[in-house]
Structure 1
Amino acid sequence: MAMHKTAAKAVGASALAALVLTACGGGDESESSEEGGEMLNNAGTLQVCSDVPYPPFEYFDGDGNVVGFDIDIAEAIAESMDAELEIVQTGFEGIQSGVALDSNTCDIAISGMTITEERAGNMLFSEPYLDDNLGLLAATAADVSSLDDLEGLAVGVQADTTGATYAEEQGYEVREYSDSGLLIQGLESGQVDAAIGNISILGYQAGESDTSEFIEEIDTGEQLGIAAQSENTELIEAVNEALAEMESSGELEELEDTWFLEGDTPEEGDAEETTDDEAAEDEPAEDEGDE
């Protein structure tokens, strides 16, 4: 089983370890257009739910196009199925709960989503395409050197993520944000002193920020996967075949290097300004985060 080491920007160790992919056996070597149509909501089009922005997995570039590591993978999958790619912007709650898939909002979901037992009960997951851990990012002025320093500090997380679950289980003073962009804004503006989330995201942000620093990796052994409706085994098999081909050809490793190592990626477009009132809407109830 091949393992490829990657690292997020500004994280000096093998913060992102590699992917573990297993070729899917059985079935024909190639899908016909007719067979591809039966797997999809709309024949000839692969609709992909993704929570944008979530750099470097998915975000808007300066021209307003959705780009990122996940998007490149989605494009390769669509090409392998001889289908056009359509990105459907979807809130992460709808993605991780399986609601977006069950309502036929999209065919597959790819959004830096960790495979968990609970989520696997609501959808089919592909073979993992990236190994990931959680990480701790803190404001440089917060005097945080480890997780032990978080007592009494405000810790930001993205709602409905494994980072949020971890922070709540630890009993931290948690403030939730609806997306990673708002989470980073909250850290940079001083609404929170630290942030906990996937190391692939926070390590990337650390490399882009002069006001925050990556503090610590939290070894949770997470793996990211692509999801389809629970009964759509044919589609998830096609996804696995595409991922296995990308793995064997070296394309997947090249994408990892591009998005997590080299830093030669499109600049983010200007995000919409968030007012204090809008940001406050993402603040949790006072007892949120306590088990």
Structure 2
Amino acid sequence: MNKKLLLTLVLFLIPLLSACASAPKAESPAETAEIATIALHSSLDLSQEGRQPILPQEYDKPFVAELLEKDSLVVGMLEEDRPPFFYHTGDGSMDGLDVEISLGIADTFGVKLVIDRTARSNQELYENLAQGRYDMVASKFSMTPERAMGVSFSTPYVTLRQSFLVNKKLAAQYGVADYPYDHMREPGAVIGTVEGTSYESFVRRNFPEADIRVYEDIPSMVEAVVGEEVFAAVYDDLTFVQAIMKNYEVSLYTTIYTVEDLRDYICVAVADGSEDLLECINAYLMVNCYSYVLDDLIRDFPECF
């Protein structure tokens, strides 16, 4: 290895399980539409009542002036919920950290918030943003060198850790329970990931000799680890913690290992050429102290765990 990877075992507090509930699922959203309703339990007010539009002539940055002239901020988010970042609530409205940030930025400009949830993959989000369909993407969107070739990223507002969900029985069988990364580097090691994500690229780049199994969604990937179909799965610590806290039986068959020196930076993305908008987004994130890690998300969005 080029650098030392320090793996630490993630421990979980069982009492948290009884206090947390899964976010309810809802039907897929329709085409782009202004979000105008909000869940009763949420502190967000997506109705934007009392909004004060800012006159375009007060700004001399071209893209910001265009935004104000059209009186809307179009934000791309995936069709599938990603709690606690964005998700449908029991009454069909939306909540989550990405919704909160998007609303705050729209309110800063005094424009209407429009959320487009027609994209079915991160690749589709990326392509739509690059083609100008959105003003920005806020969708648990990871910063990667490949994506940075076509779009621009804000400062990270969430920092997650890249992690492995390892089957306990297989780890003991191969004698690598203390350091499963050794086995994952061996030719033919069976590793799972989710199609079209930054983690698929990570696995293919870092484990070129592995037998890589690509799954359509996170539950299928987790089930593959539990069922010994794969030795390990690769994703972020948030995703695996949610899987265990929603179904404690997963912890009977698996263990989470985190890679201490590899981070997953979640950022807002804008199209190239939108540097002035990006400056405003960065200022908003910094002034409002958006710098979350896993523990912060569990604290502020317990209903999603």
Question: TM-score, normalization: structure 2?
Answer: 0.64
The one-letter code of the counterpart of 2:96 is: G
1:113-156 deviation line (CA, Å, top 9, x unaligned)? 22222221211111121222210123556546323344655422
Alignment-derived partner of residue 287 in structure 2: 245
Q: Which runs of 5+ in 2 are unaligned?
A: 1-9, 14-52
| Alpha-carbon offset, residue 161 of structure 1 | 2.9
The one-letter code of the counterpart of 1:167 is: V
2:70 pairs with 33, 43, 50, which one?
43
2:101 pairs with 61, 65, 73, which one?
73
Alignment-derived partner of residue 194 in structure 1: 232
How far apart, CA to CA, are the structure 2 residues paired with 1:61 and 1:87? 15
Residues 116-265 of structure 1 mapped to structure 2, 5 A cutoff: 116-139=144-167, 142-143=170-171, 145=177, 146-150=180-184, 154-168=190-204, 169-170=206-207, 171-184=209-222, 186-187=224-225, 192-209=230-247, 210-212=249-251, 213-218=254-259, 219-247=261-289, 252=290, 259-261=297-299, 264-265=302-303
How far apart, CA to CA, are the structure 2 residues paired with 1:182 and 1:68? 24
Q: Does the residue aligned with 2:70 lie in a helix, a strand or coil?
A: coil
How far apart, CA to CA, are the structure 2 residues paired with 1:165 and 1:206? 25
Alignment-derived partner of residue 57 in structure 1: 85
**Are the equivalent residues in 2 in contact too, given 1:11–1:214 (CA < 8 A)?**
no
**Are the equivalent residues in 2 in contact too, given 1:33–1:44 (CA < 8 A)?**
no
How far apart, CA to CA, are the structure 2 residues paired with 1:154 and 1:33? 57
| Alpha-carbon offset, residue 175 of structure 1 | 1.8
1:37-80 deviation line (CA, Å, top 9, x unaligned)? 63439822221112233333233333343433222222222222
Are residues 77 and 41 of structure 1, via their aligned partners in 2, closer, same or farther at CA, if it must alter by over 3 Å? closer
The one-letter code of the counterpart of 1:32 is: I
Are residues 192 and 53 of structure 1, via their aligned partners in 2, closer, same or farther at CA, if it must alter by over 3 Å? farther
How far apart, CA to CA, are the structure 2 residues paired with 1:122 and 1:172? 29
Are residues 266 and 216 of structure 1, via their aligned partners in 2, closer, same or farther at CA, if it must alter by over 3 Å? closer
How far apart, CA to CA, are the structure 1 residues paired with 2:89 and 2:169? 30
| Alpha-carbon offset, residue 222 of structure 1 | 3.5
The alignment of Structure 1 onto Structure 2 pairs a total of residues equal to 236
1:82 pairs with 99, 110, 128, which one?
110
How far apart, CA to CA, are the structure 2 residues paired with 1:238 and 1:106? 16
1:92-125 deviation line (CA, Å, top 9, x unaligned)? 1123xx3111222211012222222222121111
| Alpha-carbon offset, residue 239 of structure 1 | 0.7
Q: Does the residue aligned with 2:283 lie in a helix, a strand or coil?
A: helix
**Are the equivalent residues in 2 in contact too, given 1:92–1:160 (CA < 8 A)?**
yes
How far apart, CA to CA, are the structure 2 residues paired with 1:214 and 1:33? 55
RMSD: 3.4
Q: Which runs of 5+ in 1 are unaligned?
A: 1-8, 13-30, 268-291
**Are the equivalent residues in 2 in contact too, given 1:45–1:85 (CA < 8 A)?**
yes
1:232-276 deviation line (CA, Å, top 9, x unaligned)? 1121111112111211xxxx3689755233552258xxxxxxxxx
Flag the structure with larger Rg.
Answer: 2
1:167-189 deviation line (CA, Å, top 9, x unaligned)? 22213322223443554455566
